[in-house]
Structure 1
Amino acid sequence: MTEHTHDDHRPVSIPIPLDTWPRREHFEHYRHTSPCTYAMTVELDVTAFIEALRESGRKTYIAQIWALATVVNRHDAFKMCLTEDGNPGLWQVINPAFTVLNRRTETFACVWAPYDSDFTAFHDVAASLLERHADATRFFPQGDLPANVFDVSSIPWTSFTGFTLNIRDGWEHLAPIFTIGKYVERDDRTLLPLSVQIHHAAADGFHTAKLLNELQDLLTHPDWLNRPE
């Protein structure tokens, strides 16, 4: 997948036609009248996903990131941005930016990989990035992030039942933010805590629930983890 770009390869957003956009009033209300974000934390059943991962030899974190990026890229509500004139626009593709821990300094770096609907191709690129920047001391070792990214972070050392980011002056940030927690074992099932932070101007609870349900379906049917023969 590719996005429209300028000659300097910067991604270009596509303006949303406001006159025919069903969510125009909702967008304007939650951006100007009552600007707000909301967070939703769920426990996803990853029992089948974990079993398939063991057989595939793939990296768990990268598989989690790809699954998130896949469902995000299905829906315009999660590819929203603001154009240069301040109106809502859409990225054709939005790429995941994700954290990598430097265990020596106990600091993390933020890297990004271009989304690819082919999991194998994405896995190979992301695995190389994580290995290359495992000892990074800069916050953004690849340089400035491109504009068309959404954020994923992982806290695999603890589980949680709620997680909220408090972003000062974050009313211009329309992309979703995901936080992954530590697996929980319950009733012979493996559960994954996941928090998603959403700008209400971009998406309502309906849209977020749809995204999470589709994510659960991907994790319940993880045949995409298998390498082609």
Structure 2
Amino acid sequence: MEELDPKQTSRAEAFALWMKAPMPMVTLVKTLDVTRLVRLSRRGGLKFNLLLCWCVGKAASRVEEFYTLPVGDRLIRCGNLAVNTIVALEDGGIAACDLPFSESLDQFRRDYLALTAQVRETGRPYDLNGDYTVIGTSALPQTEIDGAVNIYAGCYNNPFLVWGTYRKKLWRASLPISFQFHHTQMDGGHAARFLENLQEEIRTLNP
């Protein structure tokens, strides 16, 4: 993890404009074709959420701005990405679980299954400390949603995605996804490229 001088980065103007803004978060909503993930999940025994979280990490790894994160009043450069997922606990509560992103889907699958099981069994969140930009996700499989705008607490500036259950029509499946990001970290164009990357990763996924 490295602290950057914002003036020496491509985010200098954004840092000056948005770092102290009362509401610096931007939300984009895009409907994705997730037919391939649904089929792979059913045929290969892989969890839909696991596959989608890996695609999120893969798509983000292709956008340089994901590795730079506003923290407090500083701009930090991280060397790695992680995807956070929410785990349902036996007592009805929830806990967060950070999953280190790996280019290897098989490695990510092993980490996903082991770490989410650990969180479920202990009832305690699993946090990755150190050189990671953590991409938050929240799945609401109980219902279809058209979009979501997350809260902004001022202390959590990480990018965040929210989705509900996918929608089936004939032989296709679609999923609206909301993507929230801090304007200091990236502009709308970077966010749009990430969402296009995400659709591409889903369509071309080959476990």
For the criterion TM > 0.5, the same-fold answer is yes
| 1:13 corresponds to | 2
1:12-60 CA distances to partner (integer Å, 9 max, x unpaired)? 23525623x3331122101135752111222110112222332322222
Distance 1:114 1:196, change over 3 A: same
- Aligned-partner residue type, residue 196 of structure 1: F
Distance 1:166 1:101, change over 3 A: same
| Alpha-carbon distance between aligned partners in 1 of 2:191 and 2:67, rounded to the nearest angstrom | 13
Structure 1 or 2: more strand by fraction: 2
| 2:139 corresponds to | 154
- Aligned-partner residue type, residue 95 of structure 2: A
Query: Helix, strand or coil for the counterpart of 2:80?
Result: coil
Contact 1:184 1:190 in 2 (8 A): yes
1:126 shift after superposition: 0.9
Alignment of 1:209-224 (within 5 A): 209-223=192-206
1:49-107 CA distances to partner (integer Å, 9 max, x unpaired)? 222332322222111111111112222222222468x43222111211211101x3221
Determine whether 1:196 maps to 2:179. Answer: yes
Contact 2:40 2:46 in 1 (8 A): no
Contact 1:78 1:175 in 2 (8 A): no
Unaligned runs of 5+ in 1: 1-11
TM-score (norm 1): 0.80
| Alpha-carbon distance between aligned partners in 2 of 1:60 and 1:26, rounded to the nearest angstrom | 36
Distance 1:191 1:83, change over 3 A: closer
Write out the 4+ residue segments of structure 1 that deviate beyond 6 Å after TM superposition.
Answer: none
Contact 1:183 1:190 in 2 (8 A): yes
Contact 1:95 1:150 in 2 (8 A): yes
| 2:158 corresponds to | 175
| 1:4 corresponds to | none
Rg bigger for which structure?
1
- Equivalent pairs, count: 205
| Alpha-carbon distance between aligned partners in 2 of 1:33 and 1:133, rounded to the nearest angstrom | 35
1:177-225 CA distances to partner (integer Å, 9 max, x unpaired)? 11121011235420112111111111111111100001001111121x2
Distance 1:220 1:48, change over 3 A: same
Distance 1:43 1:136, change over 3 A: farther
| Alpha-carbon distance between aligned partners in 1 of 2:123 and 2:21, rounded to the nearest angstrom | 41
Contact 2:6 2:15 in 1 (8 A): no
TM-score (norm 2): 0.88
| 2:29 corresponds to | 41
Determine whether 1:57 maps to 2:16. Answer: no
- Aligned-partner residue type, residue 24 of structure 2: C
Contact 1:79 1:175 in 2 (8 A): no
Query: Helix, strand or coil for the counterpart of 2:165?
Result: coil
